[in-house]
Amino acid sequence: MLRGVLLGIVLGGILIFAGIYFYFSTGQAPVTTSSAEMPFEHKFAHMALNAYLSKMPHPNPPIPQDEPNFMEGAKVYKQDCAVCHGLPLQAKTAVADGMFPPPPQLFRGMGVTDDEAWETYYKVEGGIRMTGMPGFKKSLSEKQMWQVSVLLKNADKLPDTVKAELVGPAGSCWQQVGEVFVRAHHGNARQIERLPGQIRQRLVGFDLRAALFQNGFKLGDRVVVGVKRIGLRFGERGRCGLG
């Protein structure tokens, strides 16, 4: 009886192994970024990552969470992270669009502001296998990794100077244009089509219309006039790609 049970367990293990080997060796497993994910891929990947993070120490950031460190973190982010994780007011890059799993856009929605800084630090330091997320332990200092981690922890409440560093001079200009839209919550969304072509094109380039539609914002005549004035004002100064 016991011998038969043991034999059944061994044979079952062999069959499972053979099935997995067949699945991979015959090209059944998805390997391209456009393929559907493997059965339980998402669940097991998150299970492993969460288990790893839970057993790591949970230190507080060893640096102040202040403007100078946010600024240095923004410089690191622009150089090493933005191509995958995006910048404020800008559309996804072609690199990010071609990845699987899709990298989270860290300046849209909540980002990782609900994660503790130490969690982001470990992800930056060691990377995450099978996601395209590299580890930066060999290329960034410990201080730099903490600076970008506290930047992302506070991404929803950064000083204007740090936002300007992230988006650049033209971007900060268009951020002000975008804020006119965001403050608007009435009227007809189609009013965006009435904006001057250059302004409309640049706004769409920063994916503002999509962001606004997702959040239910609409435009009224008063707002359109305000945007025109801002666009012309900055255009006269040779900014925002106008004038």
Examine the domain organization and report whether 193 and 208 are in the same domain: yes
Q: Is the pLDDT of residue 76 over 60?
A: yes
Domain boundary among 141, 157, 173: 157
Residue 39 has pLDDT above 60, yes or no: yes
- pLDDT category at 81 given cuts 50, 70, 90 is very high
Q: What is the pLDDT of residue 188?
A: 45
> Crossing angle, helix 142-153 and helix 117-126, to 10 degrees?
130
CA distance 50 to 102: 19
For the chain, give the mean pLDDT. 77
Look at residue 88 and tell me if it is in a domain: yes
Question: Is 129 within a domain?
Answer: yes
**165/75 Cα distance (integer angstroms):** 7
- How many C-beta neighbours within 10 Å does residue 119 have? 19
Among candidate residues 124, 139, 157, the one where a domain is terminated? 157
- Do 129 and 187 fall into the same domain? no
**What is the count of structural domains for the chain?**
2
Q: What is the pLDDT of residues 106-134, one digit of tens each?
A: 998 888 999 999 999 999 999 998 888 99
Q: Residue 188's closest CA among 213, 205, 167, 210?
A: 213
Regarding predicted confidence, which is higher, 63 or 191?
63
| 75 and 146 together in one domain | yes
**Is 149 in the same domain as 223?**
no
Does residue 212 form part of some domain?
yes
Q: Which domain holds residue 208?
A: 160-236
Record the tokens describing residue 74, joined without a space.
Answer: 């923004």
The answer to which of 11-15, 115-119, 152-156, 233-237 has the lowest mean pLDDT is 233-237
Of the ranges 48-52, 134-138, 188-192, 231-235, which one carries the lowest mean pLDDT score? Answer: 231-235
Do 97 and 172 lie in one domain? The reply is no
Do 201 and 150 have their domain in common? no
Residue 59 near residue 53 (C-beta atoms within 8 A): no
